[in-house]
Chain A
């Protein structure tokens, strides 16, 4: 051998590199997958039943009509109905346990945005956007599920449909990022 192979052409370098890349890609894919999974909730809350029985979304999430966050119901709010309702399932039993101990329910919100996004429900609700547009069809879910592809492009796509006269404001970075 008068000339050694350059480092990057040697088989062991290439194999190691490929393995490392595969590990990272696999882990990344796994990580991305995990972000899309539904988190464990303290109570397997059946949205489908509640929405199906005609309770408006804003009965439990009233913040959406007046402010930035929709909010999660307090234990007392659940109890408002469930004091009267027969305890049929172990899930309601859990609720009553929380209530009996004077504890709040440690809900895990799934419809969340990163810290650098300042989202405000009120203008969206005032503009007539249906809850289901962003949160999915809750009549088909028990616990809330994270919706796919809620990124900036998705926001802007809808903002763009509001007409060219509103576009200047609705495409402003500072509208959401400050």
Chain B
């Protein structure tokens, strides 16, 4: 039912049993997507611009205390709470790619979408953060440099989705599994992040998403997230 209502396409699986919480994905995301660094004051105030963060929760009491790591980013909901509240249609759903979009040039900064996001996945440009020359040389030309007053969030590296589709088209072939890899999955040293096309039942991501350990975040809200998490933990031999 949900499938018919909210057609899915791109999806991600994060294996929490393998994720070590090393933060390589966080840095990779920031370097790929021209995310500005804000400095200690701003980031302490909760104005850090990370599109992807790793939620580290402690469970238990010393000495049985143990952390779980949940990489959290925009879940690219099929039924997204951010979309209906945007007064200017800057937060819209992509019909063809089935992801949530943030159209920077439309955004007027009401922050309604961030307020409505149950995953707290959106970050807002409170200021124009300076990247002193020549550090601006490394800015990725495939991603817009956002300015003050604009909301932003994980895009599933949509620039790489289009680049992958372009390359496939240029070579006159269909898109293959693994042609599109977002920056986080590319960097992940333990390969805990799998990305791909959910409409293809044989893709790595579809197979991984069918795992019995799979669950989605805040499932009960009915947001139809596109990111499946695989529960961690186990015993020897398990």
On A, residues with C-beta under 8 Å from B are: 66, 114-118, 120, 122-123, 126, 168-169, 171-175, 177-178
Contact = CB atoms under 8 A, between A and B. Distances in A.
Interface stretch (B22-30, B49-57, B100-108, B206-214): B100-108
Residue among A114, A126, A172, A174 with the most chain B CB within 10 A?
Answer: A174
A174 B97 contact: yes
Contact of B144 (A116, A123, A126): A116
22 contacts: A114-B105, A116-B144, A117-B105, A118-B159, A118-B162, A120-B166, A122-B170, A123-B169, A169-B95, A172-B95, A172-B96, A172-B97, A172-B101, A173-B92, A173-B101, A174-B94, A174-B99, A174-B162, A175-B96, A177-B104, A178-B155, A178-B159
B85 interface: no
Contacts of B166: 120, 122-123
Contacts of B97: 172, 174
B142 interface: yes
Given A120-B166, A173-B103, A177-B105, A115 B145 contact: yes
A128 B157 CA distance: 29
Contacts of A174: 94, 97, 99, 101, 155, 158, 162
B146 to A, nearest CB: 8
A118 B92 CA distance: 18
A173 B103 CA distance: 7
Interface string B80-102: 00000000000010111101010
Given A116-B144, A122-B166, A177-B103, 12 more contacts: A115-B145, A118-B142, A122-B170, A126-B169, A173-B92, A173-B94, A173-B101, A174-B94, A174-B101, A177-B105, A178-B101, A178-B159
Chain B interface, >50% SS class: loop
A143 B103 CA distance: 34
Contacts of A172: 94-97, 101
Contacts of B96: 168-169, 172, 175
Interface string B56-97: 000000000000000000000000000000000000101111
Contacts of B2: none
A174 B104 CA distance: 10
Contacts of A120: 166
A122 B103 CA distance: 23
B92 A178 contact: no
B43 interface: no
